[in-house]
Structure 1
Amino acid sequence: MLERISLEDYCLPPRWLIAMICPRSNVDRFSDNFFANLTGFKPRLSVNFSDFVFHANFSPTTYIAADQENQVTVILHGEIYNTNEEPAEFLLKQYAKKGFGFSKDLNGAFAIFILDKKRDILAVITDRVNSKRVLYGEYKGYYCLSTCLKIHPVSINDLDIGGVASYLANSVVYNNHTIFNGVKVLKRASINRLYNYRFISEEYWNIEFGGFGNNVNEDNLKKELGELIIESVKKKVNPNRRLYLSLSGGYDSCGILGILAFKLKIPDVKCFSYAYGKPKPNTDAFVAKQTATIAGYNHDTIQLYDGDLPNLIINSGKLCEGLQNYSSASNGLMKMREEFAPYGSSDLIIGDQHFGSNHFIMNSDKDVLLTQIHEFNILSWLDNMLPNNIYDKLHNSLQEIMLDIIRNFPDSNFQDKRDFLFFDQKIGNEIKPLREYYFGHYINIITPFYDPDIFDFIIKLPTHFRMGKRLYKETITDMFPQLFSIKRSSHSGFMPNWQNDIYKHRDQLKALIVDGDNPLDNIIPPELLRKLIDKNEISKELSIINKTKKIILSYSSLNKILVPHVPHVPIIFRQLPAHSFILRALTLRTFLDIKKAMPKTIK
């Protein structure tokens, strides 16, 4: 199955960390050799605490600093933007001055490990949106921490049914779950301390909406937001490195384009957009090229997908970490990695943001949730095809995850709760991992608008300024009228016909499925996947549903008003197409196959 993958090509990310925490009372059992046998790595760092021992290995690009007495060690996985010092040394000084109080003042994309032998403290600090996720699991007598699920020591046969359900229905895994039982993600915006041999999380940043009140001067708000977004780009962009800008035809990356060109006057930025075939008018790539030209920058169009669907599945399986969807960019990225090389010489700037969200008609917390996260009944057509009540187990397990998400909603209006959901779940589980797991393998990622000062400003705004990103759009349009004089794109322009390509490559795709060789077989029988790939009567039935849906939604009043804004559209019209399910299932299977086949010692 994996004959197209060499042992050297498992795509270990350029920045990674794996660690083990074990009790000193059993230190002979949990020795350096145990760590090496468990993880495939020899420990580069071992720290003895009064009751436990910390062993770790990490990539050479990881920042690390210790005090003169070697009592406090700081490990930084990620970047800190509000200092010109060596970042780990900066964090060490801040911890010495303020203790954990320094956490809320940090500007960066990070996971920080604090190893304080003097106070017998081990803690992991995550940033506000979990840009650099840390996985943890408790096993027989020890903890394991890692930043990469691919190298996390866990039995691939022990799948988390809720995590798998979330992946299949939503293409990502929500609410600190993974696809494996017992492996969770540390919470965002938290100080996660080991206490009595348990991790206790304490949030250092709460999302509390309001603060400016309703009688605010709009011009003053625009001025403040304009200053904040300029400063956010200035802090994060290093003009001495090769800079790439992922440029769309919308408002967000175009705003960054204007700041780079007209405010910071950075002379050389390479802009690129994604396309599938020749860019057509009103698509992202077509509009982006026009705006890049106005800014005085070169622009390239990257062909995301070359038609090799089996290779796309394999590349996605290598990169997705079992937590992220297949990506049409995976084949194109494999070709771009030489241009980005060596890692650390270039930065990719991306316009991801959360300045607000579109208005939806919502009458309950569940309505809020369904505007962004799907229940498993989006795959209700699978109900009678899965064995042993598997459909009910998948559906009920995902329901439990969704109820847990709702329990964390703030006491506010539904639109605020929708914005909270984006901060709490979408950025850290979907958007950032998509960038980090795919692009982040080859180039350092910068998202200037994920900035603590911007976040604090946005959540203080009255709801109507966030609705439809109104304040940001008006601010950025006023700042750069020459860029926004061009009509914004109406669609991305890079959607392959997956159904046709699945049929075209059906024999190669079926060859990726080996009976009884993958833990996903117990949830999705291999013969079911093969039938769907062959377009048997089951997927034809679903095709009829989707065609009916298209006919009904062809009326613009329903398409533009009803469906995007009402989360409780009848379920028959919210079904996931068979081709999306097939590609997700194949990607997840491939990740599991790769994890199973990885050599014990990678380095």
Structure 2
Amino acid sequence: MPGIFGLSLHNTDGRLHFTAMTQKMRLLPTIHIKSISESPEFCCATSHIALFAHHDVINSDVQCWFDGELYQTAHSKPDNAPVPEPAEQLRNAYLAGELASFLRAADGAFNAVIYDMSQDKVLLIADRYGMRNLYYQKSSAGLCFAAEVKAILAARLAVTELAQLSFDCFMELGYLLEDHTWFNNIKLLPPATILEFDKRQNKSRLQRYWEWSEIKQQKLSFDDAVDQAAELMLESVKRRFNPNSSQGVSLSGGLDSRFILACIHKLWPDYPGQAYTFGTEECADITISKEVIRQIPNWKHHISLFTADNWFSPRIQKVLMTDGMLDMQHMHGSEFLQLLNYKIDMNGYAGDAILGGSFLDAKSCDQRITPALARRFYGAFTEYCDLNDTIYDLPHFEPHLYMNRIRRLTQMGVVNSQFDLEIRRPFMSNNLLEFVFSIPDHYRLNNKLYGTLLSRHFPKFYRNIRWQKTGWPISEQCPAGTAAVSGIAPPDFGKLQAYINYENLIRQPDAVASLTRLLNNPNALWRQLTDVDYYREFFIPHIYANLNRCNKILRLATVEIYLQNTKN
């Protein structure tokens, strides 16, 4: 993902290493490099796609780089009042000794770097929820950091070892956990964290500036909770959407993207918007999204179709773009982003989990995260998670999943897209998340709160339009928030296809040939990390015994493509 990169070395001129990093951060011709500060002591810059570049503060004794979006702070001014650039706001907070309190109230998806020349200190900063990746490597040489792991590898400041745990975890779960990457000595900066590096002593420390446990519980009636959640979502969309800019909505057949579109329409009824849907011609997503767009004729609808010829090859480069941490099975839709007429996407990221309570069941409501709950999602890899961290001391277990499953899986889908678009995530606003985890979990159980909210406040888009998950419209009258609690879809809905059928696509001759060349090689690099013969145990049965093993096959392909590129 484009973003900040740089290094601060101990008694070593870092400029040649920085040049190598810069070359890697220019992965695509559409990437620009700006705000370059380069000296023997410290080097830093930002890579970005066209049109998206904040003004960094680099001509000062205290320099600051900012990447991402900042929507609200404790010092936010009234609407239409001039607001300093985010980098300037962060620098001012640091100089005033108020950086932690500033960040605690900051609403947005961002990371930042501050370099204090007089103190010989470097600060790496992550937003509350870690929605903008920043990796780092601390070694005897100093500190190296980048939005892309490939840039840290290019600096060659320390010997890197592949992490066996990461391979096992990725093959089982399809994503990595906590701060792990493919390499033992390269880490992902944790959420709500400031890493402070003292160059003189070549030491670093991590400081957390916010915890989920700070959220106060409240008593609120179900009906009031429904109405307040609707207001908070409208507020979040209003902050993140500008009708005068090039923005659109990635629209599926689900509830979340439709909710964002409905909010935009409510706030700006005459806005001539744009929506984008991908899939196969007869899939539920395209069928339902067409019904949604018919409710607002002034919106344009871009539809992109998968074929057997256009799904595999484009994803090879995307494995490199995501540093091998996104299963290529979850890259769907990014093949078509360059064809869109807008450059900012309002995304339904995590909406089903936040308002829909998709991780909840009756037994898990109103509980802190426990090993038993964690094992349901992480299996044998639960022991590698820090479940005892005080950050999770609240009567809700989902925040741990947000910081792992969502941050390490769903977030990598955003990383994949951000080489073409800027992604905004209204469901991840501070006010909405703090509200959701201040009320009882059972309000959200089985989509109850969400379904009631949508049918009560946005009936035009929900009462008579189906939900791709069930085939039925949501219903406020149904206690569980959906008319398809039984899981029985309408007869006609069963004829609709999924947006893409990987099981069959893998069996197409071209895909079989490509995957065989990649995986069935005695010198394949994945074989160095396991004694399991994934090719014989998963690929052969999938192709010749008509068994569905596409999860393991495409994860293995992701690993092999990435390892080959890293070796080269």
If the length of structure 1 is used for normalisation, what is the TM-score?
0.75
Q: 1:122 is paired with a residue of what secondary structure?
A: strand
Q: 2:176 is paired with a residue of what secondary structure?
A: coil
Q: Which amino acid aligns with 1:523?
A: L
Measure how far apart 1:31 and its partner are: 3.9
Assess if the C-alpha contact under 8 Å between 1:157 and 1:519 holds in 2.
Answer: no
Residues 268 and 329 from structure 1, CA distance in 2 versus in 1: closer, same or farther, beyond 3 angstroms?
farther
Residues 85 and 240 from structure 1, CA distance in 2 versus in 1: closer, same or farther, beyond 3 angstroms?
farther
Q: Deviations over 1:517-563 (max 9, x none)?
A: 654230247975267434399x85x94xxxxxxxxxxxxxxxxxxxx
1:188 equivalent among 186, 191, 194: 191
Q: 2:295 is paired with a residue of what secondary structure?
A: helix
Aligned to 1:115: 115
1:65 equivalent among 56, 60, 76: 56
Matched, 1:76 2:66: yes
Assess if the C-alpha contact under 8 Å between 2:311 and 2:335 holds in 1.
Answer: no
Residues 141 and 516 from structure 1, CA distance in 2 versus in 1: closer, same or farther, beyond 3 angstroms?
farther
Measure how far apart 1:233 and its partner are: 0.5
Residues 318 and 175 from structure 1, CA distance in 2 versus in 1: closer, same or farther, beyond 3 angstroms?
same
Measure how far apart 1:430 and its partner are: 1.4
1:39-188 to structure 2, matched below 5 A, reads: 40=23, 44-46=36-38, 53-59=41-47, 61-66=52-57, 70-82=60-72, 84-97=83-96, 98-153=98-153, 158-188=161-191
1:431-442 to structure 2, matched below 5 A, reads: 431-437=410-416, 439-442=417-420
Aligned to 1:289: 290
CA distance in 1, matches of 2:22, 2:460: 54
CA distance in 2, matches of 1:516, 1:81: 52
Q: Which amino acid aligns with 1:587?
A: T
Measure how far apart 1:38 and its partner are: 6.6
Q: Which amino acid aligns with 1:72?
A: V
Aligned to 1:324: 326
Measure how far apart 1:451 and its partner are: 0.6
Matched, 1:303 2:302: no
Residues 346 and 40 from structure 1, CA distance in 2 versus in 1: closer, same or farther, beyond 3 angstroms?
closer
Percent identity (aligned): 18
Residues 368 and 360 from structure 1, CA distance in 2 versus in 1: closer, same or farther, beyond 3 angstroms?
farther
Q: 1:477 is paired with a residue of what secondary structure?
A: helix
Aligned to 1:35: 18
Q: Deviations over 1:372-400 (max 9, x none)?
A: 3343xxxxxxxxxxxxxxxxxxxxxx454
1:584 equivalent among 545, 555, 566: 555
Q: 1:89 is paired with a residue of what secondary structure?
A: helix
Assess if the C-alpha contact under 8 Å between 1:503 and 1:534 holds in 2.
Answer: no
Q: 2:423 is paired with a residue of what secondary structure?
A: strand
Q: 1:430 is paired with a residue of what secondary structure?
A: helix
Assess if the C-alpha contact under 8 Å between 1:167 and 1:324 holds in 2.
Answer: no
Assess if the C-alpha contact under 8 Å between 1:503 and 1:535 holds in 2.
Answer: no
Aligned to 1:6: none
Measure how far apart 1:299 and its partner are: 2.4
CA distance in 2, matches of 1:163, 1:360: 32
Measure how far apart 1:338 and its partner are: 3.9
Q: Which amino acid aligns with 2:347?
A: I
**Which ranges in structure 2 are unaligned for 5 or more consecutive residues?**
25-32, 77-82, 471-496
1:472 equivalent among 430, 445, 450: 450
Aligned to 1:551: none
Aligned to 1:427: 406
CA distance in 2, matches of 1:411, 1:498: 41
CA distance in 2, matches of 1:206, 1:399: 21
CA distance in 1, matches of 2:21, 2:394: 47
Q: Which amino acid aligns with 1:317?
A: V
Assess if the C-alpha contact under 8 Å between 2:57 and 2:63 holds in 1.
Answer: yes
Measure how far apart 1:481 and its partner are: 1.1
More helix by share: 1
Assess if the C-alpha contact under 8 Å between 1:248 and 1:284 holds in 2.
Answer: yes
1:176-575 to structure 2, matched below 5 A, reads: 176-195=179-198, 196-208=201-213, 211-214=216-219, 216-265=220-269, 267-279=271-283, 283-296=284-297, 297-308=299-310, 310-311=312-313, 313-327=315-329, 329-330=331-332, 332-340=333-341, 346-352=343-349, 353=351, 354-355=354-355, 356-357=357-358, 358-359=360-361, 361=363, 365-375=370-380, 398=381, 400-402=383-385, 404-405=386-387, 410-411=392-393, 413=395, 416-417=396-397, 419-437=398-416, 439-486=417-464, 487-490=466-469, 493-498=498-503, 501-502=506-507, 504=509, 505-513=511-519, 515=521, 519-524=525-530, 528-529=534-535, 532-535=538-541, 540=545, 543=547
Measure how far apart 1:113 and its partner are: 0.9
Q: Which amino acid aligns with 2:62?
A: V
CA distance in 1, matches of 2:292, 2:205: 48
Measure how far apart 1:245 and its partner are: 0.7
Aligned to 1:555: none
Q: Which amino acid aligns with 2:286?
A: A
Assess if the C-alpha contact under 8 Å between 2:322 and 2:415 holds in 1.
Answer: no
Residues 292 and 370 from structure 1, CA distance in 2 versus in 1: closer, same or farther, beyond 3 angstroms?
farther
Measure how far apart 1:243 and its partner are: 1.9
Q: 1:271 is paired with a residue of what secondary structure?
A: strand
Q: Which amino acid aligns with 1:287?
A: I
Measure how far apart 1:252 and its partner are: 1.7
Measure how far apart 1:221 and its partner are: 2.8
Q: Which has the higher mean CA deviation after the structures are superposed, 129-138 or 217-226?
A: 217-226
Measure how far apart 1:287 and its partner are: 1.8
Assess if the C-alpha contact under 8 Å between 1:209 and 1:460 holds in 2.
Answer: no
CA distance in 1, matches of 2:184, 2:21: 18
Q: 1:177 is paired with a residue of what secondary structure?
A: coil
CA distance in 2, matches of 1:470, 1:324: 32
CA distance in 2, matches of 1:78, 1:461: 30
Q: Deviations over 1:453-509 (max 9, x none)?
A: 111111111222233343333223211111111232236822414256246332222
Assess if the C-alpha contact under 8 Å between 1:76 and 1:112 holds in 2.
Answer: yes
If the length of structure 2 is used for normalisation, what is the TM-score?
0.79
Q: 1:441 is paired with a residue of what secondary structure?
A: coil
Assess if the C-alpha contact under 8 Å between 2:222 and 2:443 holds in 1.
Answer: no
CA distance in 1, matches of 2:384, 2:444: 27
Q: 2:499 is paired with a residue of what secondary structure?
A: coil
Measure how far apart 1:209 and its partner are: 7.7
CA distance in 1, matches of 2:255, 2:393: 31
Q: 2:426 is paired with a residue of what secondary structure?
A: coil
RMSD of Structure 2 on Structure 1 (CA): 3.2
Measure how far apart 1:293 and its partner are: 1.5
Q: Which has the higher mean CA deviation after the structures are superposed, 103-112 or 524-533?
A: 524-533
Higher relative contact order (CA 8 A, sep 6+): 1
Moved over 6 A (4+): none
Assess if the C-alpha contact under 8 Å between 1:272 and 1:299 holds in 2.
Answer: yes
Aligned residues, how many? 504
Measure how far apart 1:184 and its partner are: 0.7
Residues 157 and 411 from structure 1, CA distance in 2 versus in 1: closer, same or farther, beyond 3 angstroms?
closer
Residues 142 and 252 from structure 1, CA distance in 2 versus in 1: closer, same or farther, beyond 3 angstroms?
same
Measure how far apart 1:178 and its partner are: 0.5
Q: Which amino acid aligns with 2:423?
A: I
CA distance in 2, matches of 1:365, 1:223: 31
Assess if the C-alpha contact under 8 Å between 1:307 and 1:501 holds in 2.
Answer: no
CA distance in 2, matches of 1:100, 1:532: 49
